[in-house]
Amino acid sequence: MSSLHNDYPWTTHSGPIVVSAPMLKIALAPLAVSVSAAGGIGFLAGGFASPELTQHLAEAAELVKASNIPLHNGLLPIGLGFLSWGTDREVALKALQQYPVAAVWSFAPYQLSDLLEWSKAVRQISDNKTRIWVQVGTVAEAVEVAKTTKPDVLVVQGSDSGGHGLSQRASLMTLLPEVRDVFKKEGIEGIPLVASGGIIDGRGAAAALALGADGVCLGTRFLASSEVSIAKGYQDEVLRAGDGGVSTVASTIYDKVRGYRDWPQSYAARGVANRTFLDAVHGMSEDENIAMYEEATKLGDSGWGPEGRMTTYAGTGVGLVKAVSPAGEIVKSIRKEALEVLQKSASRFQV
């Protein structure tokens, strides 16, 4: 039994552990709790720890009660993800004290060393019960975080991922096995690796397991879940877009038009290419692009689409997302399909 099952005892053993990513303003209590209720690990997006965080956690606590998932060690059976570079730590810690959760996820600090003190604080206020998860994007980051912060889980984010990620990194296909190999060489043990980036279904999950993952994390797939907090125009665009290596781009322009100016410089965000991006490439000034974006926010759902300006963050796997399903069904079907794929693949060869 992997230590993930030990630490998160409500998770289902039949198939890989499926995690839903803490997507800012999108992955709220209904999605996180539905994923955990289906035997996965759902992460609520804590973002920068705005004052509404406690309300989201209160809602999660109600939903957990209604779903009959047992509390584990007195902790809510969900995770809470923060964007490290902008987290209001005081607000975050207060919320965690009131609503302790099973895991706290950190992503995108200005410097990796910023994670050390934060992780200590989270461990301290939870009597070492809350587990520390860190999402990283390179072998060097994985090694540094493993040696300094010593997290309980590392989420290894490959370049196919939707939303933000390091501008320069490899796909899971090479990144994950290299992290495994380097950890072995450096004697780093006992940190489960969760693969993230481009996994949409059981086939992707099976591939990640073959590469050495202990679990899989999905963001883009859950954009088409019934419980996600998303505009219809955004969700329709996720269902429409295909051939994600071409239709999506990693860029900083979407942050700029939306007023997010302080992301660490090594990050860009992947989303479906639209007018905002094309106009930027063709030389439109940032000010004009911002003004046009602001006009587009008044259009409602019709503001999305290739000729629209509203941002559709999604990964290269977007073309595999073709229907909206309840999050619990997504989790269960990924587990089942991953096992089938692995068994079928093995049966094609004589050992």
Ligand X SMILES: Cc1cc2nc3c(=O)[nH]c(=O)nc-3n(C[C@H](O)[C@H](O)[C@H](O)COP(=O)(O)O)c2cc1C
Shortest Å distance, C-beta 221 to ligand X: 6
Q: Is residue 21 a contact point for ligand X (CB under 6 A)?
A: yes
The smaller minimum CB distance to ligand X, of residues 114 and 284, is found at 114
R_g over Cα of the chain: 19
The contact mask relative to ligand X for 199-228 (x = CB under 6 A, - = no) is x-----------------xxxx--------
Nearer CB in complex with ligand X: 23/73 = 23
- Within 10 angstroms of residue 329's Cβ, the number of other Cβ atoms is 13
To the nearest whole angstrom, how small is the minimum distance from the Cβ of residue 152 to ligand X? 16
Q: If DSSP states are collapsed to H, E and C, what string results for 145-164?
A: HHHHCCCCEEEEECCCCCEE
Label residue 333 exposed, middle or buried (CB < 10 Å: 0-12, 13-18, 19+): middle
Decide if residue 42 touches ligand X (CB under 6 A).
Answer: no
Hunting for tokens 């902790």 — which residue is that? Answer: 75
Q: Which stretch binds ligand X (CB under 6 A): 171-179, 180-188, 191-199, 256-264?
A: 191-199
Task: Among 39, 42, 100, 163, indicate the residue that binds ligand X (CB under 6 A).
Answer: 163
Q: Is 152 in the site for ligand X (CB under 6 A)?
A: no
Give the amino acid at 281. V
Q: Would you say the C-alpha torsion 224, 225, 229, 233 has a positive or negative sign?
A: positive
Stretch that binds ligand X, among 20-28, 166-174, 255-263, 299-307 (CB under 6 A): 20-28
Q: Does 244 bind ligand X (CB under 6 A)?
A: no
Site for ligand X in 121-140 (CB under 6 A): 135
Q: What are the tokens at 228?
A: 């996600």
Q: What is the closest distance, in whole angstroms, from the C-beta atom of residue 307 to ligand X in the complex? A: 21
- Residue type present at position 211: L
Residue 218 or 280: which CB sits closer to ligand X?
Answer: 218
Are 102 and 8 within 8 A, CB to CB? yes
Report which residue type is found at 251: S
- Near ligand X by CB under 6 A, which window of 19-27, 65-73, 110-118, 293-301? 19-27
| Binding residues with ligand X: total (CB under 6 A) | 29
Site for ligand X in 64-123 (CB under 6 A): 81, 83, 107
Cβ neighbours, 10 Å, residue 113: 12
Which SS3 state, helix, strand or coil, does residue 9 take? coil
Record the tokens describing residue 215, joined without a space. 């679990």
Half-sphere exposure of 192 (CA within 13 A, CB side): 23
Q: N- to C-terminal Cα distance for the chain?
A: 25
Binding mask 305-334 for ligand X (x = CB under 6 A): --------xxx-x-----------------
Q: Which residues of the chain form contacts with ligand X (CB under 6 A)?
A: 21-24, 26, 45, 47, 81, 83, 107, 135, 157, 160-164, 196-199, 217-220, 313-315, 317
